[in-house]
């Protein structure tokens, strides 16, 4: 009987991990640009910002008539309101030329551009024809049946962050903003070969002593699932010279994987051949694992070679424990998660009786489990489906889902891995920057922009890790701190300047102070505002400026500072309120209004979470502080 050599040195599982990580950089391999058609499944190597608004114009959601909502107030079937028709019929792909004035309406098709002056669309089903006009039988609220420009995506808005894996949802977003190419991380190329005289390919005739090569298929598919490219090199018999030739040819790949032949027993050739390939050679041979003790790890030049145990269970276990983290890092990819989760809705949800409603939601984990936040976007939204974690089905005979009611969430995609950090609160480009830096480091971050007040409420319910806010207590003149209770801790963020944005050369604004400019704007009925979403700190600031006035555009609510700047730059509005750094890139005028403090409320129960520690540490890093300064923020003690 031939003698069997012993393992070179059995190391602990932790030591094996350390050796793996020190020998092979657990980082993306580099980036490349690919066409959109080839981007599915790839991992973003850049933050993607929108160059256009989506939709790019105010559009009708239905066939009907573009009207001024106030002209329809009081309309009922028994007391219809007559509106005269303009001479214009607005089809799709047609630029309106006639303004809708008091008492008028323009016929419009689904997808048609909303004409100036109109702020609602009445469905054709709620009208009756009459000579020279229509009778409206149901009143319309401002904004009814309209998708406003930029309400889905605003020009300049960050729509996808680096390290995101591109599914059909993300590629849809890229297509919607007109991206024909995208920069992604290079896929690791992994050479895979099976060894042994007893191994045969699936489909070959079975014979005594033979086994089908299941490891090759398992490992190749696991590699593919991780975003890498498997290169199958077939089955190599127990022939040292042939195995050495195949392995030397495989060294031009990013990783080489074998299975079997590593137990140092008679006939186990793999480790012996690998040892001859070059320096530094075998680094680990034997790990204190069950199953998986025969694991062997080598490095030839810069190419890692891993010899997995021959038994399938051991091979799969050690692959996912040691190889998968390496491949995920090389591909810029994270892990995947489960398929269905129970949750509760944190707010009242209304549904239309008579049809089943599928409601897209965001999942956030609170102290009592998952909460399902409705996305609040219509069927035309691209980002709703992209950003949603899943959906709930509301039965056709239900009109209301009450707050706290349990629901079952069907996840979109294969599984859900809860975010490491959940941000809910006021939108800010400074927060976008900080989140991007965290994502770059491998943290999974979910951000939901609901305004300062909405974020504060979520923090009190322990549904988020961070609530971004800029709320001023008018009695004390202090930002944010007066609004916190003893369950929350205030984390100081940074300063930012809010003001009135306008197009240069506009005499109503140029050379004036902010309040005087707003007064001039309110005195001109042709001067259109782009407003902010209710619940945001900026909306509170705007309402204070308006003092009860309702200028044109008041009901058009942008959900980000970028969207405000884009609307003014494109001529869809004359003025709005936003932070200074979104005005500068578009060459807009800026009238300072207030220097405010943007801070973070953290539930005390979440202060010790690793991702919260990572965020707080990031806030104090000189590089991050310099980045905030470059964005136009002010940071105390910044270099």
What is the model's pLDDT at position 5? 46
Asked if 407 and 345 touch (Cβ cutoff 8 Å), the reply is yes
Contact present, 586 and 569 (Cβ < 8 Å): yes
Regarding beta strands 390-394 and 357-366, do their DSSP bridges make them parallel or antiparallel, or are they unpaired? antiparallel
- How distant, in Å, are the alpha carbons of 61, 321, 355, 401, 609 from that of 352? 17, 49, 7, 11, 40
Which residues, 6 or more positions from 170, have their beta carbon under 8 angstroms from its beta carbon? 44, 160, 164, 386
Instruction: Give me the pLDDT at residue 52, please.
Output: 86
The two three-digit tokens of residue 21, written as one number: 């990580």
Q: Give the fold, CATH level 3, of 427-639.
A: D-Maltodextrin-Binding Protein; domain 2 (3.40.190)
What DSSP character marks residue 246? H
Residues 6+ apart with CB under 8 A from 175: 36
Distance CA 172, CA 382 (A): 7
**Strand partners for 531:** 557
At residue 372, the pLDDT reads 78
Superfamily the domain 340-411 falls into: MoeA, C-terminal, domain IV (2.40.340.10)
Q: Residue 406 has what pLDDT?
A: 86
Whether 400 contacts 357, CB under 8 Å: no
Peptide bond into 55 cis (omega under 30): yes
Token reading at 540: 């509170």
Between the CA atoms of 42, 47, 52 and 57, what dihedral angle is there, to the nearest 10 degrees? 80
Residue from 513, 499, 467 nearest 581 by CA: 499
Same fold? 13-28+187-331, 59-147: no
CATH 3.40.980.10 for the 13-28+187-331 domain, yes or no: yes
The predicted pLDDT at position 597 comes to 92
What span, in angstroms and rounded, lies between the C-alpha atoms of 626 and 632? 10
- Please state, in angstroms and rounded to a whole number, the distance separating the CA atoms of residues 605 and 326: 33
Nearest alpha-carbon partner for 572 in 103, 208, 113, 15:
113
User: Is domain 31-54+152-185 classified as CATH 1.10.8.50?
Assistant: no
Low-confidence ranges of the chain (pLDDT < 50): 1-7, 263-267, 337-338, 378-382, 638-639
- Candidates 360, 350, 463, 464; CA nearest to 410 is 360
CA-angle at 55, arms to 532 and 593, nearest 5°:
25
Question: Which positions ≥6 away from 544 have C-beta within 8 Å?
Answer: none
pLDDT, position 290: 59
What pLDDT is attached to residue 339? 62
Residues 6+ apart with CB under 8 A from 104: 67, 68, 71, 83, 84, 85, 86
- Between strands 575-579 and 127-130, the pairing is unpaired
pTM here is 0.60
What are the residue ranges spanned by the domains of the chain? 13-28+187-331, 31-54+152-185, 59-147, 340-411, 427-639
Please give the Cα distance from 280 to 268 (Å, whole number): 21
Phi, psi dihedral angles at 191 (to 5 degrees): -80, 130
* DSSP secondary structure string for all residues of 488-536: EEEEEEEEEEEEEEE-TT-TTTTTS-HHHHHHHHHH-TT--EEEE-TTS
> Alpha-carbon torsion 564, 567, 570, 573, what sign?
negative
Q: Which CATH superfamily is domain 59-147 in?
A: Molybdopterin biosynthesis moea protein, domain 3. (2.170.190.11)
DSSP line for 410-453: EESSS-----SEEEEE---HHHHHHHHHHHHTT--EEEEE--HH
pLDDT tens for each residue of 567-619: 899 888 999 999 888 888 889 999 999 898 999 999 998 899 899 999 999 99
pLDDT digits (tens, 9 = 90+) for 181-232: 999 999 999 999 988 888 877 888 888 788 887 888 888 988 988 889 999 9
Q: What is the pLDDT of residue 319?
A: 84
* Dist CA 308 CA 594 (whole Å): 63
Burial 220-236 (b: 16+ CB within 10 A, else e): bebbeebbbebbebebb
Q: Hey, what are 141's tokens? A: 């609220």
CA angle 182, 580, 468 (to 5 degrees): 75
Q: How many helices (H) and strands (E) does the chain have?
A: 16, 37
CB 73 within 8 A of CB 180: no
CA angle 255–256–259, rounded 5-degree value: 140
d(CA 83, CA 332): 58
Vertex 83 angle, CA 77 and 86, to 5°: 145
Compute the distance between CA of residue 138 and CA of residue 385 in angstroms, rounded to an integer. Answer: 31
- Report DSSP state, residue 74: T
Is residue 33 within 8 A of residue 180, CB to CB? The reply is no
């Amino acid at each position: 009987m031939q003698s069997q050599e012993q393992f070179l040195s059995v190391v602990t599982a932790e030591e094996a991990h350390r050796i793996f990580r020190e020998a092979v950089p657990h980082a993306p391999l580099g980036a490349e640009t690919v066409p959109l058609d080839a981007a599915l499944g790839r991992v973003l190597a850049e933050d993607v910002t929108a160059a256009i608004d989506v939709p790019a114009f105010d559009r009708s959601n239905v066939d009907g008539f573009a009207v001024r909502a106030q002209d329809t107030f009081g309309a009922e079937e028994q007391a219809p309101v007559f509106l005269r028709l303009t001479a214009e019929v607005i089809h799709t792909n047609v630029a309106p030329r006639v303004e809708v004035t008091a008492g008028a309406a323009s016929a419009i098709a689904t997808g048609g551009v909303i004409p100036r002056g109109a702020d609602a669309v009445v469905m054709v089903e709620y009208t009756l024809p009459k000579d020279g006009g229509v009778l409206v039988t149901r009143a319309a609220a401002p904004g009814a049946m309209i998708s406003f420009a930029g309400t889905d995506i605003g020009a300049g808005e960050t729509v996808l962050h680096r390290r995101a894996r591109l599914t059909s949802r993300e590629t849809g977003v890229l297509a919607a903003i007109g991206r024909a190419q995208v920069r992604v991380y290079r896929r690791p190329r992994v050479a895979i070969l099976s060894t042994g005289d007893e191994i045969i390919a699936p489909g070959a005739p079975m014979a005594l002593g033979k086994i089908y090569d299941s490891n090759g298929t398992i490992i190749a598919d696991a590699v593919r699932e991780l975003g890498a490219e498997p290169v199958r090199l077939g089955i190599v018999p127990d022939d040292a010279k042939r195995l050495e030739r195949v392995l030397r040819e495989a060294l031009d790949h990013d990783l080489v994987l074998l299975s079997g032949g590593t137990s140092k027993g008679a006939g186990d050739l793999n480790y012996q051949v690998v040892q001859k390939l070059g320096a530094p050679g075998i680094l680990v041979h034997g790990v204190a694992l069950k199953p998986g003790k025969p694991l062997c790890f080598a490095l030839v030049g810069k190419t890692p070679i891993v010899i997995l145990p021959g038994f399938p269970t051991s091979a799969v276990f050690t692959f996912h424990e040691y190889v998968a983290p390496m491949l995920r890092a090389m591909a810029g990819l994270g892990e995947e998660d489960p398929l269905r989760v129970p949750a509760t809705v944190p707010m009242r949800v209304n549904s239309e009786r008579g049809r089943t409603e599928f409601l897209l939601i965001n999942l956030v984990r609170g102290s009592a489990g998952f909460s399902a936040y409705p996305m609040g976007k219509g069927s035309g939204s691209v980002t709703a489906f992209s950003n949603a974690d899943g959906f709930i089905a509301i039965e056709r005979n239900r009109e209301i889902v009450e707050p706290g009611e349990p629901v079952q969430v069907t996840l979109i995609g294969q599984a859900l891995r809860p975010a490491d950090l959940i941000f809910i609160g006021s939108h800010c480009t400074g927060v976008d920057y900080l989140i991007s830096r965290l994502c770059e480091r491998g943290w999974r971050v979910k951000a939901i922009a609901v305004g300062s007040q909405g974020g504060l409420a979520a923090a009190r319910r322990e549904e988020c890790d961070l609530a971004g806010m800029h709320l001023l207590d008018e009695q004390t003149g202090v930002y944010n701190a007066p609004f916190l209770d003893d369950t929350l801790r205030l984390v100081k963020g940074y300063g930012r300047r809010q003001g009135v944005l306008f197009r240069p050369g506009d005499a109503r604004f140029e050379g004036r102070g902010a309040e005087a400019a707003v007064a001039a704007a309110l005195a001109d009925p042709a001067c259109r505002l782009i407003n902010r979403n209710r619940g945001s700190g900026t909306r509170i600031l705007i309402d204070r400026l308006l003092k009860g006035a309702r200028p044109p555009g008041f009901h058009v609510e942008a959900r980000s500072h970028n969207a405000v700047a884009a609307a003014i730059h494109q001529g869809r509005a004359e003025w709005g309120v936003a932070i200074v750094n979104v005005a500068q890139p578009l060459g807009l005028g800026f009238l300072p209004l207030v220097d405010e403090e943007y801070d973070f409320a953290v539930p005390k129960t979440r202060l010790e979470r690793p991702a919260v520690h990572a965020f707080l540490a990031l806030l104090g890093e000189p590089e991050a502080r310099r980045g905030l300064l470059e964005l136009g923020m002010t940071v105390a003690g910044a270099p």
